Amino acid sequence: MNNNILIIEDEENVLNVLKAYLEKAGYNVYGTTRGLKGIQLFKSNDFKLIILDLMLPDISGEEVCRIIRETSNIHIFMLTAKGSLDNKIDGLEIGADEYLVKPFSPRELTARINALFRRISYEDNESGLCYSDGNLIVDYEKRLVKLNEQEVPLTSNEFDILYALIINKGKVLSREQLIQKIGGIDFEGYDRTIDVHIKNIRKKIEEDTKKPKYIITVVKVGYKFGGDN
């Protein structure tokens, strides 16, 4: 399995520590202290995960994330000293899968990455399940979403939330249940982070986000999938 990781981190000592921990854990790690160089490395290599600092000397981490999200649904872990809930929500809205606040433990980050790669390995070996109502196609085996024959770029967490709702069609899933389904005990999520992911998914697959067809809000309970088979 591809175990390539790209670290974009402006503090060289932090970069070196993370690189050492992850290489010891068996990952193939590329690193740079510059955002533009990180984009160049991303375009010329096949990565499964990007660890992205927001405070970069040449271009903001937010801009790096936006550029990458234009073409890829690669897993992105954001690192930052900005620790408020609003900062976290902002990061998730532009496409981050996880948001870690400095200072953090390299051992904890490595554990999170191990959990992520276990999930990726499991998903790669799962038999495919395809949902289609004629307009929306969700292929679990390929982790592919198409709307009106056009591919829709979802982040990893967005895809997992959509898929969880589809396979539980007819059931209402609470925010806590969705957090467990997309990350389990390794995912430190708030109710609002699920709402942000739902908002992003709706922007990408709903014709009218104010009157959603696929992801239905059940007030004070959670969300359910409303698409027809």
For the CA atoms of 94, 97, 102, 107, the dihedral, rounded to the nearest 10 degrees, stands at: -160
Same-domain pairing of 114 and 9: yes
Encoding tokens for residue 199?
């908002």
CATH of the domain at 106: 3.40.50.2300
pLDDT digits (tens, 9 = 90+) for 59-91: 999 899 999 988 888 889 988 877 666 777 777
pLDDT digits (tens, 9 = 90+) for 112-149: 888 888 776 655 555 455 666 668 888 877 788 888 88
Give the domain range for residue 86.
4-123
**CA-CA distance, 132 to 145, in Å (whole number)?**
10
Same-domain pairing of 38 and 138: no
Point out the domain boundary residue: 73, 106, 123: 123
**CA-CA distance, 167 to 68, in Å (whole number)?**
29
Encoding tokens for residue 151?
């591919």
Name the residue type at position 190: Y
Task: Specify the number of domains making up the chain.
Answer: 2
CATH of the domain at 200: 1.10.10.10
